[in-house]
């Protein structure tokens, strides 16, 4: 049967992989190409790169990184950050990305999701949603790296993105991100249950049981994590073995 | 004359396929082309595809590549990938369009309400790594039974004849994920994104000399 996916996430700025807690105290985690190769060898199912570069002057760096990774790593690569128009999608795909993740721009201009999906296929359009709990069982969509409230309900928004042609939803809990206390399982479950397309859970992973919980309790089709892999706490292979022991189908 | 022509009809990104073929055949002359003459002269042809079938068929026609692809599918080592598999069949439910009709059968959509053994809903598209139960065709050489390959698709092929089926995958019912006939081999998954198993299959295609 289809395996649940483990996706290491690489936040990239100025040509380096970094990781911070809620976008502050960025800590250097190394060279993105080397890290990508390491995760590939460990059995990562996909890789996600988020370009968190603030200055548009440095945008070229992510293209060179993706080109280099794509020459050496033969698993799906997703790239997000700064995607504003269909041309941006095209440029990233041409650099070697297999999927492009759209976050803020999907809110600013939902038609971008529809246009990009129509042109390049739903399989390469991931819509990333940053969610913050506003009431019991209720979450709001935030944009601009979590700084801006939109008034949009996460569940309705995810369904709308599916209708417009998203092939997958990357759902990050802002409340949990960087806390290492596990995914927001209620959020994950609430969104995956209304979707026909796959859901990637993100935000909050601090140990291997959190990954298993995201699948078993949250109902996620894939789990994304950054810091537990970057700083050598665990390998992707250890994560998979931990999940397999609990009866979760994984690619070992 | 190129060794491997990757057919470019403007749909999606063919760079991954190109990179993977370069990896397994570093000395081969590999090109991504929309030139019917280059395809006609190539020793081997790879026919990939992404996106929606109606768009793919329309672009193939618009670029004047239909006949070159049909010829290649009948007379030289030919590898279809994903939509490149689906387009070989007679008809697709995606947009209710005819395909190239090289193989007998149709392309159908996964049911939206499938459940796994635990009762969880199975998502469509079928996306991720799934096990492949394969036969003994030369393109499977060195690839373990039930090896996982990377899939992403909402439609699957249903051949009318069982003879050409070279592999199946469960989601949750078995569906056909590889077919072969003479010089032709075609797969639903993406070998170019399937790590070691995928590279092995591409290597086997490069080395394949069908009689």
Q: List phi, psi (to 5°) of A244.
A: -60, -40
ipTM for this prediction:
0.94
DSSP B111: P
**8-27 of B, contacting A, C-beta below 8 A:** 11-13, 15-16, 19-20, 23
What does the pLDDT look like over A234-249, one tens digit per residue? 999 999 999 999 999 9
Q: Please choose, from the candidates A114, A99, A43, A168, the residue with its C-alpha nearest in 3D space to the C-alpha of residue B126.
A: A168
What does the pLDDT look like over B11-41, one tens digit per residue? 767 889 999 999 999 999 999 999 999 999 9
Q: Which residues of A touch B199 (CB under 8 A)?
A: 74
Q: List phi, psi (to 5°) of B65.
A: -105, -5
| Active-site entry in B82, B126, B134, B153 | B82
Q: Which residues of A touch B194 (CB under 8 A)?
A: 74-75
**In which element (H, E) is residue B91 found?**
strand B91-92
- Mean pLDDT across chain A: 93
- At a CB cut-off of 8 Å and minimum separation 6, what does A60 contact? none
Q: Is the CB of B122 less than 8 angstroms away from the CB of A120? A: no
pLDDT, residue A57, reads 63
pLDDT, residue A54, reads 59
A3 at interface of B, judged by CB pairs closer than 8 A: yes
pLDDT, residue A21, reads 57
What does the pLDDT look like over A16-44, one tens digit per residue? 998 765 555 678 889 999 999 999 999 99
Q: In angstroms, what CA-CA distances link A115 with A125, A243, B96, B174, B198? A: 10, 37, 22, 33, 31
Give the integer Cα–Cα distance in Å for A191 and A128: 13
Q: Where are the domains of chain B?
A: 4-207
pLDDT, residue A55, reads 61
pLDDT, residue B181, reads 97
Q: Which residues of B touch A76 (CB under 8 A)?
A: 150, 152, 193
pTM of the model: 0.96
Q: Is the CB of A5 less than 8 angstroms away from the CB of B13? A: no
Q: Using CB atoms, which residue from B122, B126, B195 is nearest to A75?
A: B195
Q: List phi, psi (to 5°) of B180.
A: -145, 150
Q: Please choose, from the candidates B80, B102, B78, B77, the residue with its C-alpha nearest in 3D space to the C-alpha of residue B89.
A: B102
* CATH architecture designation of domain B4-207: 3-Layer(aba) Sandwich (3.40)
Least reliable range by pLDDT among A55-64, A180-189, B125-134:
A55-64
Judge whether B190 counts as a catalytic residue: yes
| Chain A residue with Cα closest to B12 | A120
pLDDT, residue A87, reads 93
Q: Which residues of B touch A89 (CB under 8 A)?
A: none
Q: Using CB atoms, which residue from A76, A96, A121 is nearest to B15?
A: A96
- Residues B6/B31, Cβ–Cβ less than 8 Å: yes
- Mean pLDDT across chain B: 95
SS3 category, A185: helix
Q: Which residues of B touch A221 (CB under 8 A)?
A: 123, 127-128
Instruction: Using the predicted structure, report yes or no on whether residue A212 has a pLDDT greater than 90.
Output: yes
pLDDT, residue A119, reads 87
State the average pLDDT over residues A198-225.
97
| Active-site entry in A40, A45, A130, A177 | A130
A98 at interface of B, judged by CB pairs closer than 8 A: yes
Give the integer Cα–Cα distance in Å for A191 and A182: 17
What does the pLDDT look like over A73-109, one tens digit per residue? 999 999 999 899 999 998 999 899 999 999 999 999 9
pLDDT, residue B48, reads 95
State the average pLDDT over residues A49-74.
86
How many of the other CB atoms lie within 10 Å of CB of A99? 25
Judge whether A175 counts as a catalytic residue: no
Q: Is the CB of B51 less than 8 angstroms away from the CB of A120? A: yes
pLDDT, residue A227, reads 86
Give the integer Cα–Cα distance in Å for A154 and B190: 32
How many of the other CB atoms lie within 10 Å of CB of A68? 17
Q: Which residues of B touch A123 (CB under 8 A)?
A: 50-51, 125, 127, 152-153
CA angle B89, B90, B92 (to 5 degrees): 85
- Residues B7/B46, Cβ–Cβ less than 8 Å: yes
Beta strands in chain A (DSSP E): 5-13, 16-21, 24-30, 47-51, 77-80, 99-102, 125-135, 138-143, 148-153, 168-173, 199-202, 222-225
Beta-carbon pairs below 8 A across chains A and B? 104
pLDDT, residue B60, reads 95
Give the integer Cα–Cα distance in Å for A174 and A146: 7
B129 at interface of A, judged by CB pairs closer than 8 A: yes
What does the pLDDT look like over A123-165, one tens digit per residue? 999 999 999 999 999 999 999 888 899 999 999 999 999 999 9
Instruction: Using the predicted structure, report yes or no on whether residue B114 has a pLDDT greater than 70.
Output: yes
State the average pLDDT over residues B150-157.
97
Bridge partner residues of A126 (DSSP): A101, A168
What does the pLDDT look like over A161-211, one tens digit per residue? 999 999 999 999 999 998 999 999 999 999 999 999 999 999 999 999 999
Judge whether B134 counts as a catalytic residue: no
> Treating both helix axes as pointing N-terminal to C-terminal, what angle do A185-192 and A154-164 enclose, rounded to 10 degrees?
40
Give the integer Cα–Cα distance in Å for B190 and A87: 25
């Amino acid at each position: 049967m289809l395996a649940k996916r483990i996706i290491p996430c690489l936040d990239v700025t100025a040509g380096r992989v970094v990781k911070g807690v809620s976008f502050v105290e960025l800590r250097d985690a190394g060279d993105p190409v080397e890290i990508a190769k390491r995760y590939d060898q460990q059995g990562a199912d996909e890789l996600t790169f988020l370009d968190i570069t603030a200055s548009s002057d440095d945008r070229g760096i992510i293209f060179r990184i993706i080109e280099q990774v794509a020459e050496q790593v033969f698993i799906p690569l997703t790239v997000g950050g700064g995607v504003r128009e269909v041309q941006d999608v095209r440029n990233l795909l041409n650099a070697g990305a297999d999927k492009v993740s759209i976050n803020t721009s999907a809110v600013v201009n939902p038609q971008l999701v529809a246009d990009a999906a129509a042109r390049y296929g739903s399989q390469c359009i991931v819509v990333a949603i940053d969610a913050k709990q506003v009431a019991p069982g209720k979450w709001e969509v935030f944009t601009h790296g979590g700084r801006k409230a939109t008034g949009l309900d996460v569940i309705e928004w995810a369904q709308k993105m599916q209708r417009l042609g998203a092939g997958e939803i990357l759902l990050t809990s802002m409340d949990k991100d960087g806390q290492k206390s596990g995914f927001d399982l209620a959020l994950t479950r609430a969104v995956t249950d209304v979707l026909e397309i796959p859901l990637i859970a993100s935000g909050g992973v601090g140990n291997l049981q959190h990954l298993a919980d995201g699948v078993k309790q949250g109902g996620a089709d894939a789990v994304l994590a950054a810091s537990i892999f970057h700083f050598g706490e665990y390998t992707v292979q250890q994560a998979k073995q931990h999940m397999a022991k609990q009866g979760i189908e994984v690619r070992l | 004359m190129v060794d491997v022509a990757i057919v470019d009809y403007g749909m999606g990104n063919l760079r991954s396929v190109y990179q993977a073929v370069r990896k397994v055949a570093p000395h081969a002359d590999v090109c991504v082309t929309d030139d019917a003459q280059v395809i006609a002269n190539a020793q081997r042809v790879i026919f990939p595809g992404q996106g929606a079938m109606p768009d793919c068929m329309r672009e193939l026609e618009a670029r004047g590549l239909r006949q070159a692809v049909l010829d290649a599918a009948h007379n030289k080592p030919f590898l279809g990938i994903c939509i490149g598999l689906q387009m070989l069949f007679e008809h697709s439910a995606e947009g209710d369009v005819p395909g190239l009709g090289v193989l007998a059968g149709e392309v159908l959509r996964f049911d939206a309400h499938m459940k796994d053994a635990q009762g969880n809903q199975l998502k469509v598209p079928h996306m991720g790594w799934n096990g492949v139960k394969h036969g003994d065709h030369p393109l499977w050489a060195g690839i373990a039974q039930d090896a996982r390959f990377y899939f992403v698709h909402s439609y699957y092929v249903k051949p009318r004849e069982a003879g050409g089926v070279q592999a199946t995958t469960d989601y949750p019912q078995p569906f056909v994920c590889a077919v072969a006939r003479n010089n032709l081999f075609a797969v639903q998954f993406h070998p170019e994104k399937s790590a070691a198993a995928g590279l092995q299959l591409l290597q086997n295609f490069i080395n394949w000399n069908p009689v």
